Amino acid sequence: MAYVYKELSDRDYEELNETLKKSDSLDVLKWAAQTYGNKLVYACSFGAEAMVLLDLLSKVQRKAHILFLDTDFHFKETYELIDRVKERYPDFVIQMARPELTPEEQAAKYGEALWESDPNKCCQIRKLDVLERGLAPYDAWLSGLRRAQSPTRANTEFVNRDDRFQAVKICPLIHWTEEEVWMYIQLHNLPYNELHDQSYPSIGCTYCTQAVAAGEDARSGRWSNHTKTECGLHAPVKGE
Ligand code: SF4
Q: What is the pLDDT along the chain (240 residues), one digit of tens a residue?
A: 679 999 999 999 999 999 999 999 999 999 999 999 999 999 999 999 999 999 999 999 999 999 999 999 999 999 999 999 999 999 999 999 999 999 999 999 999 999 999 999 999 999 999 999 999 999 999 999 999 988 989 999 999 999 999 999 999 999 999 999 999 999 999 999 999 999 999 999 999 999 988 777 776 766 676 666 667 787 665 433
pLDDT score of 238: 45
Tell me if 68 CB under 6 Å of ligand 1.
no
Ligand 1 centroid, distance to 123 Cα (angstroms): 5
Ligand 1 centroid, distance to 79 Cα (angstroms): 16
- C-alpha 114/C-alpha 110 separation (Å) is 7
- Residue 116, in any domain of the structure: yes
Ligand 1 centroid, distance to 9 Cα (angstroms): 34
- Whether the CB-CB separation of 88 and 64 falls below 8 Å is answered with no
Tell me if 127 CB under 6 Å of ligand 1.
yes
**Mutation choice for ligand 1 from 68, 70, 121, 126, CB with most ligand atoms inside 8 A:** 126
Tell me if 222 CB under 6 Å of ligand 1.
no
Check which CATH number belongs to the domain holding 53 and give it: 3.40.50.620
Q: How far is CA 67 from CA 14, 41, 136, in A?
A: 27, 7, 12
Task: Give the count of beta carbons closer than 10 Å to the beta carbon of residue 104.
Answer: 9
Q: How far is CA 46 from CA 105, 126, 186, in A?
A: 26, 17, 16
pLDDT score of 104: 98
Tell me if 126 CB under 6 Å of ligand 1.
yes
- Residue 213, in any domain of the structure: no
- Whether the CB-CB separation of 72 and 206 falls below 8 Å is answered with no
Which residues share a beta bridge with 203? none
Report strand pairing: 65-69 vs 159-162.
Answer: unpaired
- Residue 207, in any domain of the structure: no
- Whether the CB-CB separation of 183 and 90 falls below 8 Å is answered with no
In the chain, the number of structural domains is 1
Structural domain range at position 42:
5-195
pLDDT score of 49: 97
pLDDT score of 78: 98
Report which of 39, 28, 33 is spatially closest to residue 171, judged by C-alpha positions. Answer: 28
CA-nearest residue for atom 5, ligand 1, is: 123
Tell me if 110 CB under 6 Å of ligand 1.
no
What's the distance, Cα to Cα, between the start and end of the chain in Å? Answer: 29
- Residue 231, in any domain of the structure: no
- Residue 238, in any domain of the structure: no
